[in-house]
Amino acid sequence: NGPTGSRRTGTATVYVEVLDVNDNKPIFLQNTYETSVLETIPQGTSILQVQTQQ
């Protein structure tokens, strides 16, 4: 715990498992995605959506 009002930061690596079996790997529109999350966000809330080329 830091001083009142201080920011806490962290990082996470997320691995994506594609369940649709075909011969085409997904190509994401960005190499890296970043987002910020408030401590008060309700559990189960979507915090980031990524897209692939079609």
User: Which residues have a Cβ under 8 Å from the Cβ of 28 and sit 6 or more positions away?
Assistant: 50, 51, 52, 53
User: Cα-Cα-Cα-Cα dihedral of 12, 45, 33, 17, to 10°?
Assistant: 70
Chain segment 1-54, per-residue pLDDT in tens = 556 667 778 888 888 787 877 778 888 899 888 888 888 999 999 999 888 887
pLDDT at 3: 64
State the pLDDT at residue 51.
Answer: 86
Query: What pTM did the predictor assign?
Result: 0.56
Residue 4: predicted pLDDT: 65
Distance CA 23, CA 35 (A): 31
In this prediction, residue 41 carries a pLDDT of: 92
The pLDDT of residue 44 is 93
Cα–Cα dist 11/14, whole Å: 10
